[in-house]
Amino acid sequence: MAEIPKVYDPKNIEDKWYKFWEEKGFFQPNIDPHKKAYTIVIPPPNVTGTLHMGHALNNVLQDILIRWKRMKGIPVLWLPGTDHAGIATQNVVEQRLARQGLKRQDLGREKFIEQVWQWKKEYGNTIVTQLKKLGCSCDWSRESFTLDDKLSRAVQDVFIRLYKKGLIYRGSFIVNWCPRCQTALSDEEAQYQDIPGNLYYIKYPFKDNPRQGITVATTRPETMLGDTAVAVNPADNRYSHLVGKKLILPIINRTLEIIADKAIDSEFGTGAVKVTPCHDPNDYALAVTHHLKGIVVMNPDGTMNSQAGNYQGMDRLECREALLIDLKERGLLEKVDVHQHSVGHCYRCHTMIEPYFSEQWFVKMKPLAKPAIKVVKQGKVKFYPGRWTKVYLDWMNNIRDWCISRQIWWGHRIPAWFCQDCYRKYLSKHLAKEIELPLEISDKQAGIVVSASRPEKCPNCGSKDLKQDGDVLDTWFSSWLWPFSTLGWPEDTDDLKYFYPTSVLVTAYEIIFFWVARMIVAGLEFTGSIPFRDVYIHGIVRDETGTKMSKSLGNVIDPLDIIKVFGTDALRFSIILITATGQDVYLSEGKFNVGRNFANKIWNASRFILMNIELPSHQTLDSELLIKKNLSLADRWILSRLTKTIKTVDDYLEGYKLNEAANAIYEFFWHQFCDWYIELVKPLITAKDPPGATGQSKEVARAVLCSVLETSMRLLHPFMPFITEEIWQRFSHQDSSIMITSWPESKPKLLDEKVEGDMDVIVGEITALRNIRSTWNISPRQTFDVKISVPGSKYEKLLSENLEYIKNLCRLGKITIGKALKKPQGVTTAVVGNIENYVLLEGIIDIAKEKKRLSKQIEELSFHLARGQKRLKNKSFTAKAPQEIIDRARKREAELKEKIGILKYHLEELK
Ligand SMILES: [Zn+2]
Ligand SMILES: [Zn+2]
């Protein structure tokens, strides 16, 4: 028998086994046309990413499901890959250039993109290496990247298909605009946070009576330069008589009309609001309804343009300050209130978002959403936990068109070509001083051609001066195709036929809209099939106080640090154990002790078993030896518990309750196998002498120990892949690895409720007698005698047959068992159900000393009790103190009473 190191050291084994698995090709599926595949596509981490706890949780969940199904003999594919992450990656490379004093424009588009690819080659693999550290059993031979040629072809194909169906259009809109990144952001990419700001009250004079006017309130005064109306609610008595009256826009001196619209909130500010169609989404909608024109006053970088008069060239906030001074001088700034308001920020660079007028490409989502709503309503796609179904449906029912163009360089180019002649003419005609809203771009008039390759000439004017759209597509426009583009779509590949639709998508709730919903839409539209049957939504990782982990807050726990200190298995097990389905995870470093302690427990128990058994025995639960021969109560009990645990774990995994599954194994292995079974058979296993009075044979006990340990390792393997492989390899086996051996089967014939009930009695007896030892401070070396009074012969037989267990584990001397024995004098009693255990204390402990100790304790506790009771009787206390304090005092009173009662009972026993 090979020596087993005394202390478990994860470092020595984890890399070794990962390398072994990878080299043996175990991560690749064994395609069997007669079996249905189980497929998961990884939520592709950003290529810029480094592993954080959110990834760790997400990927460990997936790896558990994958390893579990693989052991069940199902052909499994876990398809990995990364996302090109448009803005994020471009930012990283731009920052790198900035350190050399360069901007991307200095390099030009082509050179810049080359740099990004270079960066990807150097650093893009970081997260993949880290996923391997985590033990992820992905099929790396199928690794994909959203900008791979085949995935890019799928993206282009989809754009053209939707365009031809009239589901992609170019239009004007108010988009969330990040002036720093200079790109449009989707609604979901705009992160709203409450920030303190001001509400400025500005007076707009009447045209016919400039001394008087209407006061409007705004948080963004600089946008007033683009105002084209003032609006009030028609039901607002303060203003209804003024509707139709003309105003003079201060500074700019444009004439505005007062309009009425029911959408105006009379409660906000003064009840009169300025209307700035090109800089506010609500105002844009108002302008469309009331046929107002729009004026753009800002450049894409957030500086003011020529429409801003004297403020041209200033930054938006600089302009705000200058404008406020000018208004004040004219006596038009009435007041400034402090105002907490919710402002969108760029999810990448946290710059304040500017609602901005621009032309973009859009996907019409309403018609596409319909089938995606239906499949979820019909239960063809199921959410776990189910409460996310409603969230999904609500969002889908109110879905808005999706702005898919981004003004950056890194990403999929849009297959649209602009005739330089027609487009310029079209824009100058439509973006003149005041814009008709909405600006509907007619692709034909504007000379826009959507095509996979450059068109020969403009179909409109015949010009050959055509340029491809400079924008790229939103990153999610490739991610929404991920479940099938990675399998070869649009080609009808073998992989697509065999592995699609996928089985489950495992993801955090943050990206249900960004990603999950859109994948269902795309799957149905392009493959005619749902992309996955189940969606398992997990929570996000927070710190101990419930705050989201972020680098800027400094509350991040790095999974790789945890792996260094605790080991990968400990990280995996701990994080799963505390992740209740769908709930957020509150993490601190201390929580990884659970996993580490468990790993140590597994190691020590395995070491004990393997060192004490010469044979590297591999007994399966089917073994004749185990079913028929000579099994003791403890043997049958642990086998019954094991088979129950297997069933429980399977059921929990089926229902995506991975934490419950982990907990079931933990409870079984630690508190039943280690705490009880191993302890019960230890004397037998280690003894040189033949079996004792329990009738248990050494041979059988060894077989049971081996079998339970080996089975437990398989049951635990998906959760703790490394330590289980290390231990499992020490058994004789046919398969070359635990990860491809079979999953334990629950064997109903091993279930035995009677045995479990009997064992409860024995465990109860041992616990009660051990309590006597601790209550009376009996030294561990001291044996004592016990008289056991049982209610009937059933118990007499049970206890007699299993006396050796009780004797060994409690270090007892003489044991007498009898039916309804008379309670002797001077004994302490422990009651277990209907059984009474009498222990004569005389001669074991110093009775006089114990009496003194007990009396003193009673005295002390009584003093505290009296003081507490006095306080509770005090009316001024009960009237004034908070309910919480009173409740606590009452609880304490009850506890003290109970403790005193027990002590008095024990004192009585000594008399
Ligand atoms: Zn930004
Ligand atoms: Zn043209």
Residue 192 scores a pLDDT above 50: yes
Report which bound ligand comes closest to the CA of 425.
2
pLDDT for residue 432: 64
Residue 621 is predicted with a pLDDT of 45
Residue 601 has pLDDT above 80, yes or no: yes
Query: For residue 144, what pLDDT band results from cuts at 50, 70 and 90?
Result: very high
Could you tell me how many helices (H) and strands (E) the chain has, helices first?
A: 32, 29
At residue 497, the pLDDT reads: 96
Closest ligand by atom to 91 CA: 1
- CB 635 within 8 Å of CB 700: yes
Which residues on neighbouring strands pair with residue 536, listed in sequence order? 384, 506
Distance in Å, CA 462 to ligand 2 centroid: 6
Question: Average pLDDT for residues 615-638, to the nearest whole number?
Answer: 66
Is residue 634 pLDDT above 60, yes or no? yes
Mean pLDDT for all residues in the chain: 90
The whole-number pLDDT of residue 357 equals: 87
CA 477–ligand 2 middle distance (angstroms)? 28
Question: What distance in angstroms lies between residue 210's CA and the mean position of ligand 2's atoms?
Answer: 49
How far from chain centre, in Å, is Cα 204?
51
Q: Which ligand is nearest to the CA of 302?
A: 1
Q: Judge whether residue 506 has pLDDT over 90.
A: yes
- Greatest mean pLDDT among 132-146, 286-300, 726-740 lies in 132-146
Q: pLDDT, tens digit, for every residue of 782-798?
A: 888 899 998 888 899 99
By CB atoms closer than 10 A (0-12, 13-18, 19+), residue 601 is middle
Separation of CA 362 and ligand 1 centre (Å): 20
In the reported structure, the alpha carbon of residue 463 is separated from the centroid of ligand 2 by a whole-number distance in angstroms of: 5
Report the pLDDT value the prediction gives residue 849, as an integer from 0 to 100: 82
- Please choose, from the candidates 111, 49, 128, the residue with its C-alpha nearest in 3D space to the C-alpha of residue 84: 49
What pLDDT score was predicted for residue 623? 55
- pLDDT band per the 50, 70, 90 thresholds, residue 690: low
Q: Report the separation in Å between the CA atom of 283 and the middle of ligand 1, taken as the mean of its atom positions.
A: 24
User: Is 689's pLDDT higher than 70?
Assistant: no
Q: Which listed ligand is nearest to 446 at the C-alpha?
A: 2
Instruction: Measure 565 CA to ligand 1 centroid, in angstroms.
Output: 37
314-324 pLDDT tens trace: 999 999 999 99
Spacing, Cα 824 to ligand 1 middle (Å): 84
Q: Judge residue 754's burial from the number of C-beta atoms within 10 Å of its C-beta, 0-12 exposed, 13-18 middle, 19 or more buried.
A: exposed
Beta bridge partners of 246: 257
CA distance 228 to 435: 11
Highest mean pLDDT among 72-81, 454-463, 582-591: 72-81
Selected residue with higher pLDDT from 777 and 150: 150
Q: Is the pLDDT of residue 226 over 60?
A: yes
Distance 347 CA to ligand 1 centre (A): 7
402 within 8 A of 363, measured Cβ to Cβ: yes
- 579 vs 781: CA distance, rounded Å: 43
Hey, which residues does 38 pair with through a beta bridge? 76
Mean pLDDT calculated for residue range 690-710: 74
- pLDDT: which is higher, 189 or 802: 802
> What is the enclosing helix (H) or strand (E) of 230?
strand 229-232
pLDDT score recorded for residue 2: 59
- Does 620 score more than 70 pLDDT? no
Would the pLDDT of 449 be above 50? Answer: yes
Q: Pick the closest to residue 415 from 490, 359, 468 (CA basis).
A: 468
Q: What is the pLDDT of residue 548?
A: 86
Within 13 Å and on the Cβ side, how many CA atoms surround 692?
A: 20
Q: Cα(420) to centroid of ligand 2, in Å?
A: 7
**Distance from Cα 461 to the centre of ligand 2, integer Å:** 4
**Residue 693 clears pLDDT 50, i.e. is over it:** no
Say what the pLDDT of residue 853 is: 85
pLDDT at 903: 86
Above 80 in pLDDT, residue 687?
A: no
Using DSSP's 3-state secondary structure scheme, residue 138 falls into coil
Q: Convert the pLDDT of each residue in 355-384 to its tens digit.
A: 988 888 999 999 999 999 999 999 999 999
Q: Which ligand is nearest to the CA of 458?
A: 2
What integer pLDDT is reported at residue 812 of this predicted model? 86
pLDDT at 617 over 70: no
Q: What is the pLDDT of residue 427?
A: 77
Q: Counting ligands in written order, which one lies closest to the CA of residue 445?
A: 2
How far is ligand 2, taken at its centre, from the CA of residue 414, in Å?
19
Q: Are 228 and 437 in contact (CB under 8 A)?
A: no
Q: Report how far ligand 1's centroid is from the alpha carbon of 259 (Å).
A: 35
Type of residue numbered 349: C
The mean per-residue pLDDT over the stretch 179-196 comes to 83
Say if residues 53 and 171 touch (Cβ distance below 8 Å).
no
Helix 847-873, helix 883-909: angle, nearest 10: 150
Predicted confidence band at 902 (pLDDT cuts at 50, 70, 90)? confident
H-assigned helices in 241-357: 281-290, 316-329
Cα of 352 vs centre of ligand 1, distance in Å, is 8
Q: Which of 242, 222, 238 is nearest to 230 (CA)?
A: 242
pLDDT mean over 456-478: 93
Q: Kindly give the distance from the C-alpha atom of residue 18 to the centroid of ligand 2, in angstroms, as a whole number.
A: 59
CA 348–ligand 1 middle distance (angstroms): 5
Q: Which two tokens stand for residue 640?
A: 């019954």
Please give the distance, rounded to the nearest whole angstrom, from the Cα atom of residue 460 to the centre of ligand 2.
5
Q: What is the mean pLDDT of residues 826-851?
A: 83
Which of the residue ranges 483-497, 746-760, 844-858 would you say has the lowest mean pLDDT? Answer: 844-858
Asked whether the predicted pLDDT for residue 555 surpasses 90, the reply is no
pLDDT of 188 above 80: no
Tens of pLDDT along 236-286? 999 999 999 999 999 999 999 999 999 999 999 999 999 999 999 899 989
Q: pLDDT tens digits for 647-665?
A: 999 999 999 999 999 999 9
How much is the pLDDT for 335? 94
Distance of CA 384 from the midpoint of ligand 2 (Å)? 53
Report the pLDDT value the prediction gives residue 629, as an integer from 0 to 100. Answer: 63
Q: How far is CA 817 from CA 822, 835, 836, in A?
A: 12, 10, 10
Model pTM score: 0.83
- pLDDT tens-place string over residues 809-821: 888 888 889 888 8
CA distance 656 to 581: 7
The secondary structure of 646-695 as a DSSP string is HHHHHHHHHTT-HHHHHHHHHIIIIIIIIIIIIHHHHHHHH-SSPP-TT-
pLDDT (tens digit per residue) in 334-359: 999 999 888 999 887 889 999 988 88
Cβ neighbors of 785 (< 8 A, separation 6 or more) are 812, 813, 814, 815, 816, 839, 840
Ligand nearest to the CA of residue 352, numbered in listed order: 1
Ligand nearest to the CA of 448: 2
Residue 111 CA to ligand 2 centre (angstroms): 29
Query: Which residue bears the tokens 């460990």?
Result: 60
Using DSSP's 3-state secondary structure scheme, residue 749 falls into helix
With pLDDT > 70 as the criterion, what percentage of the chain qualifies? 97
Could you say which ligand is closest to the alpha carbon of residue 301? Answer: 1
